[in-house]
Structure 1
Amino acid sequence: MGHFLTLSACYVSIITYFYRIFCLSPANARRVWIALLEKEIEFELVSMKLNGDQFQPDFLDISPFHHIPVLADGDFHLIESLAMLDYLEAKYPTIALLPQNARDLAIVRMVQMVTVNELTPALSPFVRQTFGGAGEPENLEKSALQVAAVLRFFEELLGDTPFFGSNTITLADVVAGVSVPWLPELGLSLEEYPKLEDWCDRLNSRASWKETQASPELVEAFKAQMKQLMKGKQQQPLNDEINELRREDK
């Protein structure tokens, strides 16, 4: 299930994908959703079923690789969540999510790219294991070392500021903040990183994080479905249960 968000004034839309919100592969849709909320841009959600809708000709017209999310501003269509974040920042700069200082801007970009290029791939074995897939100890150990390296880097980079590169929220927080707080769900503790733990608490207390976070019941139902998919045993009753939970969660 996805969502179609329409911004006011110039018909801007974004389609989000439930799997990517929770599975960190990566959490592309939630990044953009949070940015819209933080920048106070009006939008609406329209449901989209991902059991084939993403391969329909009208969708392929705006997303030729059938990827989600997609952002459409009139007849201009964007794919890739980081491009969308930059687009929204440039077009709606009033509530800035990027610092002006060169050093702070570099910090934001580093956090974004390290999240995408270093953290997300390292999480794949843990995601597979969490959802019932086969986990190879050697891969898990190697990935755990990579995750620890990223967390140490983030802990040091955060320093004494409440957010990355700023005293106010930035796009670095938006990108890393839909992945790092979820690590304990994968069995990866944040206890050795007190600054990051406090940072996660700050993010999770924000209205934008709360609004885009599914209920525990929805998450558990989704995990159950993913475990079945890992085993090749997808069942329609469970799909119906998840769809019902989604409706209740809105």
Structure 2
Amino acid sequence: MQQKSASPVDNSTSTAPPKLILYSFWQSSCSWRVRFALNLKGLPYDYRAVNLRKGEQFSPEFEKINPLHYVPALADADLVVSDSLAILLYLEEKYPHKALMPLDPGLRALNLQAANIVSSSIQPLHMVSVLRNIEEKFGSEERSSWAQSKIETGFFALEKLLNSLAGKYATGDEIYLADVFLAPQIAVAIKRFNIDMSKFPTLSRIFNSYKALPEFLDSLPERQPDAVN
């Protein structure tokens, strides 16, 4: 659903209705969540690459988009929203078709709880900047053990939370917000941090369901226009 662009700045003079613009970095799991959600909702968007490794997030152009210098950021006409959870909740309100939040209040709360475990208690603890600081102070071995420990702590919590709820996906047989957060996090845990997923049978099973979804496959980091293979 994306149109590819490597530039973070749009100089287009087109009079066509504005599309959604996603400012993303291919290796960012937070950006990955939004790509997955946009695909699930069938929303076309322009992809604007922001190379975090080259420091493009600190450019004057991108600072106007997000003064915190993070991706993802989503532009919808004159509105710019940053932070993946805020973006996804905005998309759910503005574009409610193919809903990512269930109607049942209890299931909604559980989806938010699972999403927050990923976004607050797992992913921030293995950010590149955090791991770099740990390696500088304690060495590369401690860096790896720290990341694995924090991911596994979060996964054990998710396993307990979802064990009695999960069907094909995290909270049943429909794909919802929890899945949008879980799919990239599990993929990163396996590929980047060598997490043994046999400890987490529920998460392993639902991850296999994600891998069968074209919307997930299209959102994979290596399929993005700024990917370096």
Q: TM-score, normalised by structure 1?
A: 0.70
Quote the offset at 1:170 in angstroms: 0.5
In structure 2, the partner of 1:16 is 24
Counterpart residue identity of residue 16, structure 1: S
Q: 1:157 to 1:120 in 2, by over 3 A?
A: farther
Counterpart residue identity of residue 203, structure 1: Y
In structure 2, the partner of 1:86 is 89
- 1:164 & 1:152 partners in 2: Cα distance? 10
- 2:25 & 2:151 partners in 1: Cα distance? 27
- Aligned alpha-carbon RMSD (Å): 3.4
Identity rate of aligned residues, in percent?
A: 22
In structure 1, the partner of 2:121 is 118
In structure 1, the partner of 2:111 is 108
- 1:121 & 1:109 partners in 2: Cα distance? 17
User: Is residue 159 of structure 2 the alignment partner of residue 152 of structure 1?
Assistant: yes
Quote the offset at 1:141 in angstroms: 7.9
In structure 1, the partner of 2:67 is 64
Quote the offset at 1:37 in angstroms: 0.4
In structure 2, the partner of 1:169 is 175
CA-to-aligned-CA distance 1:71-108 (integer Å, 9 cap, x gap):
11122111111000011111111111110101111110
Of 178, 184, 191, the match for 2:190: 184
Quote the offset at 1:121 in angstroms: 4.5
For the residue of structure 1 that corresponds to 2:199, the secondary structure is coil
- 2:127 & 2:59 partners in 1: Cα distance? 29
Q: Which runs of 5+ in 2 are unaligned?
A: 11-15
Q: Which runs of 5+ in 1 are unaligned?
A: 21-26, 219-242
CA-to-aligned-CA distance 1:152-176 (integer Å, 9 cap, x gap):
32442544x2223342110110011
In structure 1, the partner of 2:36 is 34
- 1:101 & 1:74 partners in 2: Cα distance? 31
**Aligned pair count?**
210
Quote the offset at 1:46 in angstroms: 3.8
Contact 2:24 2:72 survives alignment (8 Å):
yes
In structure 1, the partner of 2:13 is none
Of 77, 80, 85, the match for 1:74: 77
Quote the offset at 1:124 in angstroms: 5.9
Q: 1:180 to 1:92 in 2, by over 3 A?
A: same
Counterpart residue identity of residue 175, structure 2: I
